[in-house]
Chain A
């Protein structure tokens, strides 16, 4: 079976092909021009998706050494994400599936991340704890199978990736914040400032809004006119990054102590952060659990994970109508399309 998938939820257009269970193409076109605006501009993102999706699909087929007629199922991200961006990939996929008279499978982007560890050689073992950390979401999920996900906790305000972006902006490091903070932190001392980690009534929930405000207050109090010397900027970045990592590892450890969990998987765009990868790897080692962290190409938005998730939905017997609409957010506790 040959499955083709399309991702267009934010600022990456991606097309992937899985042939008989093997990933044979995963092309990603990143819209780097958003850097000029300090964040993703939805209208420009939508325009770029429409321009690039077909050439990218042709290249993915070429790389797969397949033709359109060889494709059996077409998947596309349905949400959450930027609605205008989602509409392009989803509608294109529906049109293509209709013209080829083959099934169309809409995919929840978060579920794509959750199962992205299965794109690796060493795969997660059910039930596993998925630590989903991205620009839009911070979630702790207990994943029991390909059809059952239990939400343990989520952020009550900002996502971790969002906090990285906002703090990077405060520090004048630019966009995107994740890599910029990590790079600055490499030259900083994380012990220099102790930023607080929110302790909420629900032990598995996160809050990064207070942390972000703490950084702002510290900057305003310590530096006149927000002029921050490089070494101080690096120290703040390191201290902030450490606080985020402490929050995530603390809640993940709580989950390990309270649920039967065979393995861990750190997924999402912020899973590219090396100190976070190291911290979760150390946590898993302490509990003698396997940890699966996808390769960098599967951490950011990519169609490989969408294609894999779509394939699993199709294999489980799920079928969808072409009237399926994209969704910008996910309803509370809802993870199955």
Chain B
């Protein structure tokens, strides 16, 4: 059976990258970790990733996108690009939960039985928080994704391995590599592929509240 490759995109944080994923051992991946580079470079990265893979959009199974939570602007750049790419090439989109893709990535490096927290900043007062457990070389949720007070993070992560930019602003696990966005899509995303993406948007997770009326 000829399995088509996946194009996966990560733009939810500082990392801006794309992968063409054929299987675990065959892929082309380009990542740039430069703040505010997404708008200018994302399409160029996608172009080169496809070029090096020797394929075009028409050869893909779907386009996977890291769906958040994360930087509102970064997520929208990714989704805007993907909507244009997918509609122009009649491809389905597969939204991939960002924290789960990070957890999948960590499941390749952490030992069996490890409990770990991923926490990324929402703002100075809040963080996105989720706790996972490595079991049978995979991850399972120990505490579901939620927004907690930044001041509670230390207590909530005590005794667990900790990852994400709420702990270390340059932590490489604050966002998944595109490779793991693709792998998550391959392993768990079959039911999420959709051609009905007219109104699709990122998982902002946090509602935007206008604090003070401008009236």
Complex Cα–Cα for A44 and B80 (A): 15
Q: Are A43 and B208 in contact (CB under 8 A)?
A: yes
Using Cβ atoms and an 8 Å threshold, which residues of chain A touch B87? 54, 57, 68, 96, 99
B198 near A54 with CB under 8 A, answer: yes
A51 within 8 A of B: yes
Given the known interface contacts A55-B198, A323-B41, the answer about A38 and B83 at a Cβ–Cβ threshold of 8 Å is: no
Question: How many residues of A are in contact with the other chain, CB < 8 A?
Answer: 41
Which of A52, A55, A99 is B85 in contact with, Cβ under 8 Å? A99
- A44 pairs with B81, CB closer than 8 A: no
**Chain A CB within 8 A of B114 CB:** no
Task: Known contacts A38-B215, A54-B87; decide if A88 and B76 are in contact (CB<8 Å).
Answer: yes
> Is A197 located at the chain interface by the 8 A CB criterion?
no
Q: Is A87 an interface residue (CB 8 A)?
A: yes
CA distance A138 to B81 in the complex (A): 33
A84 within 8 A of B: yes
A37 to B211, CA, bound (A): 10
B57 contacts A99, C-beta separation under 8 Å: yes
Q: Does B159 contact A (CB under 8 A)?
A: no
With a cutoff of 8 Å between Cβ atoms, the chain B residues found around residue A156 in the complex are none
CB <8 Å contact, A323 and B208: no
B134 within 8 A of A: no
Q: Does A14 contact B (CB under 8 A)?
A: no
- Of B43-51, B98-106, B145-153, the one with at least 4 CB within 8 A of chain A: B43-51
* Interface check A283, CB cutoff 8 A: no
Contact of B43 with A322 in the complex, beta carbons under 8 Å: yes
Is B197's beta carbon under 8 Å from chain A? yes
Closest to A46 in B: B76
CB of A91 closer than 8 Å to a CB of B: yes
Residues of A26-75 at the interface with B, using a CB-CB cut-off of 8 Å, are 36-39, 41, 43-44, 46-47, 50-55, 57-58, 68
User: Which one of B73, B82, B83, B197 has the highest number of Cβ atoms from chain A below 10 Å of its Cβ?
Assistant: B83
Using a CB-CB cutoff of 8 Å, which residues 66-89 of chain B contact chain A?
72-73, 76-77, 79-89
Tell me if A93 counts as interface (CB < 8 A to partner B).
yes
Assembly CA distance A44 to B47 (angstroms): 31
- Taking A46-B72, A91-B81, A323-B41 as contacts, is the C-beta distance between A99 and B89 under 8 angstroms? yes
Cβ contacts A152-174/B at 8 Å (1 or 0 each): 00000000000000000100000
* Residues A47 and B201 in contact, CB atoms below 8 Å apart: yes
Docked-complex contact A87 and B208, CB < 8 angstroms = no
Residues of A within 8 A of B42 (CB): 91
Q: In the bound complex, do residue A94 and residue B81 qualify as a contact, i.e. CB atoms below 8 Å apart?
A: yes
| B34 interfacial contact with A, CB 8 Å | no
Assess whether A92 is interfacial by the CB under 8 Å rule: yes
Cα A84 to Cα B210 in complex, Å, equals 16
Name the A residues within 8 Å of B41 (CB-CB): 323
Residues of A within 8 A of B (CB): 36-39, 41, 43-44, 46-47, 50-55, 57-58, 68, 84, 87-100, 169, 175, 321-326
Other A-B contacts than A100-B88, A175-B215, 18 sampled, CB-CB below 8 A, are: A37-B215, A46-B73, A46-B76, A50-B79, A51-B199, A53-B80, A68-B87, A87-B76, A87-B77, A95-B43, A95-B85, A97-B88, A98-B84, A98-B85, A99-B88, A99-B89, A322-B44, A323-B40
Q: Which 7 A-B pairs have the closest CB atoms?
A: A95-B84, A99-B88, A38-B215, A96-B84, A38-B214, A91-B80, A322-B43
